[in-house]
Amino acid sequence: MLKKRTIKIMPQASIAALSGFGDLLAGFILGSLLPTGIPWAAALYPPLIGARGAIAGSIIGRLTSALNVGLIEPSLSKENEKLWEILSSGISASILASIIASIPLIISGLSIRPITVVLVSLVTINGSTLLLIPLNLGISFFAFKRGLDPDIIVYPTMSTIADIVVTLLYLISLRMTLNSLIMFSAILVGISFIVVIKWAIGEFIKVLLEVLSATTLVIMIESVAGLFLGEALEISDKRVLFIYPVMLTELGDFSSIVGSLITTRLFLGMARRKIPLLDIFPEILGVFTVYLGVFSFIGGVLWLLRGNPWVSILTFLIAFPVMLVITNLVVVLSSRRFDPDNFTIPITTSSADLVTTAAMAAAVSIIGG
């Protein structure tokens, strides 16, 4: 029975893991096109990626769990109120998160124009949220109708696509004039306002506050991740940047799969133990096997770039047990007072960014880049 559960999850986890390789493109785009003349450009990128992940994680986590337990139907019907509540709270959060993500940089002491930083953040976060919602719904509905588990398929697939979209929007917005930023921001806020005003129903305010709480924590975590990234780049060279986004995505996807499996079991009343991870140990073993192979492949990519292939493997082996503990704690603690879907994926994936970056810095210092 346990062996069957391990084997059963591996094909779906493999699909999710393969989708993460698209972040090699995000790494190439970022490393090649990030403007060198804007001193704060690199510093703002991690908080934006983190904020996007927090909001998308909340939307996807609640959507996939609601599909699995029958709270929503896989359709865009007006009667599907729970679905519209999820989407409207996510869109609202993306606007407010743009401001939150800008604050650490604005108060950092760097010579910047605050309005530019806020508008760049808005175009990146709110713009990517609006662009990706249709695709998110399409993949969720498709997976559910085909008998696949959306908890396993959706976030890993969407996170890769989202990282590419966010990276492109960020690089485009950095090159916009202030007038262009104002115009595009006004259009995005207008579209968001129309959706939110019409569909801000049910527990909209409660959910929005929970999402923003998680997003604020995520941005704080991502700011620390930026420090570790700087440390890693001082020890190594820029070659690690080409695999950095894909490592973040893959370990975040791993954590999101584990977190989603636990929250769904909690909703269904199937979590029997005080440590929910023990209930899904066979699935964890299957997912670990898949992602060990993934990080080995990433090591091969780094080797082709004349880097040390063991960096990615050691990074995974260091980060894996840490993320299991964090994911379990987040689910258990958040489920006591809140909807764990609003916290689990956002916090675990951003924690995965921090843990992955710290583990990479440790790996580089131990074996060299």
Distance in angstroms (rounded) separating the CA atoms of residues 344 and 250: 16
pLDDT of 187 reads: 94
Query: Are 352 and 283 spatial neighbours (Cβ–Cβ below 8 Å)?
Result: no
CB-hemisphere CA count at 13 Å for 306?
2
* Residues 210, 200: Cα–Cα separation, whole Å: 15
Which residue range is the domain that position 135 belongs to? 2-367
Consecutive 10-residue runs of the chain (369 residues): their mean pLDDT? 74 79 85 76 82 77 75 72 78 87 79 87 92 85 77 72 89 93 94 77 70 78 71 66 84 82 71 66 85 92 86 92 86 67 69 86 80
Buried b vs exposed e over 270-297: b needs ≥16 C-beta within 10 Å? Answer: ebeeeebbebbebbbbbbbbbbeebbeb
Q: How far apart are CA 57 and CA 19, in angstroms?
A: 16
Q: How far apart are CA 336 and CA 299, in angstroms?
A: 40
Q: Give the pLDDT score at 338.
A: 65
Asked if 246 contacts 21 with a C-beta cutoff of 8 angstroms, the reply is yes
Q: Which long-range contacts (CB under 8 A, 24 or more apart) does 80-87 make?
A: 81/201, 81/202, 82/202, 84/199, 84/201, 85/199, 85/200, 85/201, 85/202, 85/203, 85/204, 85/207, 86/59, 86/62, 86/207, 87/59, 87/133, 87/195, 87/199
- Polymer length of the chain: 369
How far apart are alpha carbons 126 and 28 in whole angstroms? 23
- Tokens describing residue 66: 């609601």
Q: Where are the beta strands (DSSP E) in 28-116?
A: none
Residues 217 and 57: their CA atoms lie apart, in Å, by 14
What is the structure's pLDDT at 10?
83
pTM for the whole thing? Answer: 0.74
Total count of domains within the chain: 1
Cβ atoms of 259 and 344 closer than 8 Å:
yes
- As given in the structure block, the two tokens for residue 158 are 């969407």
Supply the DSSP symbol for 22. G
The answer to whether 223 touches 12, Cβ cutoff 8 Å, is no
Return d(Cα 348, Cα 57) in angstroms, integer: 10
Separation of alpha carbons 109 and 119, rounded Å: 19
Dihedral (CA of 36, 38, 42, 48) sign:
negative
Sign of CA dihedral 351, 353, 359, 361: negative
Q: Give the DSSP letter of residue 38.
A: -
Query: Taking a C-beta distance cutoff of 8 angstroms, is the pair 41, 174 a contact?
Result: yes
CA 243 to chain centre: 16
Res 19: pLDDT: 73
DSSP state of 234: H
Range 63-86 burial, b when 16+ CB lie within 10 A, else e:
bbbbbbeeebebeeeeebebbbbb
Q: How far apart (Å, rounded) are the C-alpha atoms in residues 319 and 65?
A: 26
> Which residue type, as a one-letter code, is found at position 157?
T
